[in-house]
Amino acid sequence: MSRATSSPLRSTAAHAVLIAYTIIALFPVLLIVMNSFKARNAIFRSPLSPPTPDTYDPVGYTTVMAQGDFLLYFQNSLIVTVGSLFFVILFGAMAAFALSEYRFRGNSLTGLYLALGIMIPIRLGTVAILQMMVASGLVNTLTALVLVYTAQGLPLCVFILSEFMKTVSDDLKNAGRIDGLSEYRIFFRLVLPLVRPAMATVAVFTMIPIWNDLWFPLILAPSEGTKTVTLGAQIFIGQFVTNWNAVLAALSLAILPVLILYLVFSRQLIRGITSGAVK
């Protein structure tokens, strides 16, 4: 690019703004994680200093482990998130393939019908969903959550993936057909591997709201055995408001898994966004 857009003054200013905002973005997170390792009076006396050997105290974590059943909550969250993700991606990719590959009557109408869900939040159907789950005996099961989240994630997944699948070359698919591959094998063997970056994007966009959701776990599965981490942390915080060590430790524990997943996926995410339907 030209010199005009990269003068040192300009880039210094850009860095200053970005660094300032990065601090704003990260400060609260750091504050929580840092203080969760400190003893109670150190949390209050010097909240901004990192833990030193003097002030180090993991009492918060031991309380959390002893009181809340966090391992079980983690397991529940993981099952729900991975399960929903699997079905969203599989069903979504299949539908996206059908919509982008074949011409049939009602194609665009079906596409529109599936896209409706991007705009209208599923939450507004909560009343009826709860009744349905009560009627089918699925209240307080993880299955209920997986089903609802699958429905919730499908519209966006179909929308994004069908845009991507339009870019897969017809010649390749036709070559497969001539070689006698069935339509199913063309989909699973040829097309799916080619849209992997797009699937990663969809996975992140689908995963974050599911992992973080409070509404449906609160309504559909609030029992002890089916609590997710988000709901568990919320309830735990409510009970332990004054036990700051425990609260900070619980918050840190809830931050960590998503953070790791995000860092793992973030490369793929950028690649997916910058080359895809979202733009």
Partner 1 sequence: MSSADTIRRPFRWHILVFLAPAILVYTAFMIVPLAGTLQFSLFRSIDRVQTFVGLDNFRTLFGDPRWSAGFWNALWNNCWFFIVHMLVQNPVGILLAALLSSPKLRFAALYRTAIFIPTILSFVIVGFVWKLILSPLWGIAPWLMSSVGLRGWFAPWLGKEEHALTALSLISVWQFVGIPMMLIYAALLSIPDEVIEAAECDGITGMAQFWKIKLPLILPSIGIISILTFVGNFNAFDLIYTAQGALAGPNFSTDILGTFLYRAFFGFQLQLGDPNMGATIATMMFFIILAGVCVYLFAIQTRLRRYQF
- Residues in region 134-193 near partner 1 by CB under 8 A: 147-148, 150-152, 154-155, 158, 182-184, 187
Least Å from the CB of residue 104 to partner 1: 6
Q: What angle do CA 130, 135, 137 make, to 5 degrees?
A: 90
Least Å from the CB of residue 261 to partner 1: 8
> Judged by CB under 8 A, which of 12, 22, 62, 239 binds partner 1?
22
Token pair of 2, please? 């030209």
Q: Does 39 participate in binding partner 1 (rule CB under 8 A)?
A: no
Choose one: 24-32, 49-57, 167-175, 191-199; the region binding partner 1 (CB under 8 A): 24-32
Distance CA 152, CA 147 (A): 9
Tell me whether residue 53 or residue 266 sits nearer to partner 1 (CB atom). 266
Least Å from the CB of residue 39 to partner 1: 15
> Judged by CB under 8 A, which of 195, 211, 226, 240 binds partner 1?
211
Token pair of 60, please? 């918060």
Torsion-angle region of 137 (φ positive above 0: left; ψ -120 to 50: alpha; else: beta) = left
Least Å from the CB of residue 54 to partner 1: 20
The closest alpha carbon to 99, from 200, 194, 187, belongs to 187
Distance CA 112, CA 123 (A): 20
Number of residues that bind partner 1 (CB under 8 A): 92
DSSP string, 157-187: HHHHHHHHHTTS-HHHHHHHHHTT--HHHII
Region 58-117 residues binding partner 1, contact defined as CB under 8 A: 87, 90-92, 94-95, 97-99, 102, 104, 110, 113-114, 116-117
The closest alpha carbon to 97, from 167, 200, 149, 174, belongs to 167
Least Å from the CB of residue 98 to partner 1: 4
